[in-house]
Amino acid sequence: MRKAVLVVTLFVGAVALAAPPASSPALLEKGKASFTLNCVPCHGVAGAGDGVAAAALNPKPRNFKVDAFKNGEKPENVFKTVSEGIPTTVMVSFAHLTEEERWSLAYYVLELRGPGVGKPVAAAPAADAKKKKK
């Protein structure tokens, strides 16, 4: 009986660990480093979809600043995109990266998207006021 309780506790603990980590300057730094390594060739340094490989691609890499995100714009949505990729495109899965690294990428992509995270920059003149809103 004790053993069963212990197993359940460990299981719940493991699930809790899988919850999104909060964003932090350190995590964003990590995201930036990983983005530079893994994503810049297509998405460009500032995420404008203008990396060196972009010209040859169809569909084009997403421009994080202005394009809509078809999988959604919450950190968990971008995490899913990075983890699973987008089928039939060159946007492949990055599931080989650690979960923490994928979260850091999700937050960094949204940082590149702009201060009004989740909203296209052009449509968010009051972005600063909304910065802390979830």
Distance separating alpha carbons of residues 113 and 90, to the nearest angstrom: 21
Q: Which of residues 66-125 bind ligand HEC (CB under 6 A)?
A: 69-71, 78, 81-82, 86, 89-91, 94, 105, 109
Say if CB 79 and CB 90 are below 8 A apart: no
Write down the least CB distance from residue 111 to ligand HEC, Å: 11
Residue 70 or 134 with smaller CB distance to ligand HEC: 70
127: part of which helix (H) or strand (E)? helix 127-130
How far apart are alpha carbons 81 and 75 in whole angstroms? 10
23 binds ligand HEC (CB under 6 A): no
33, 38, 99, 127: residue in contact with ligand HEC (rule CB under 6 A): 38
Q: ∠ at Cα 81 (94, 110), nearest 5°?
A: 105
Closest among 60, 56, 47 to 120, alpha carbons compared = 47
Told to check if 134 binds ligand HEC by CB under 6 A, we report: no
Chosen residue from 10, 36, 41, 45 binding ligand HEC by CB under 6 A: 41
Binding site for ligand HEC (CB under 6 A): 38-39, 41-43, 53, 57, 59, 61-62, 69-71, 78, 81-82, 86, 89-91, 94, 105, 109
